[in-house]
Amino acid sequence: MLGSSVPMRRGALGLAAALSTLLSWQASSLANACDSLTGTYVCDKYCPSEGIGGGDEVVQDGQELRLSDGRGEFKGYLSGPRTLIVARIWKENPLKGTLNADCSEIAWTNGSVWVRKK
């Protein structure tokens, strides 16, 4: 009986190590998410509401977002570390946006691109 408990302990230690690795990977993935999207953005490409160079505003409160394109304000939310969903904006409903690596641009599924002002 004593000899059979050693492989069981090694298996439990291996499982614990695997879980620890998985949890630290998830934590680092969340850490790579944008700290805050709140700020002023400029529409750089395909800007039906505000025109190229027009201003857009994003206000983030946790996972909730409030976006403005100069003509209206819309509610949205973060659906992942680099994905935003806007409940109603332009003609698309819902509209999905993807953030670039440094979170300075939002590329929308309708072809618009918002660039964060520095």
Give me the pLDDT at residue 100, please: 93
Counting every residue, how long is the chain? 118
Overall pTM surpassing 0.85 (yes/no): no
Listed residue (49, 64, 60, 63) closest to 111, CA to CA: 49
Q: Tell me: the pLDDT tens digits for 72-83?
A: 888 889 888 888
Residue 70: enclosing H or E segment and its boundaries?
none
**What is the Cα–Cα distance from 113 to 107, expressed in whole angstroms?**
5
Find all residues with CB under 8 Å of 77, minimum gap 6, and list them: 63, 64, 65, 84, 85
Q: Tell me: the pLDDT tens digits for 11-47?
A: 444 444 443 433 333 333 333 458 899 999 999 988 8
Please provide residue 103's backbone torsions phi and psi, each rounded to the nearest 5 degrees: 65, 25
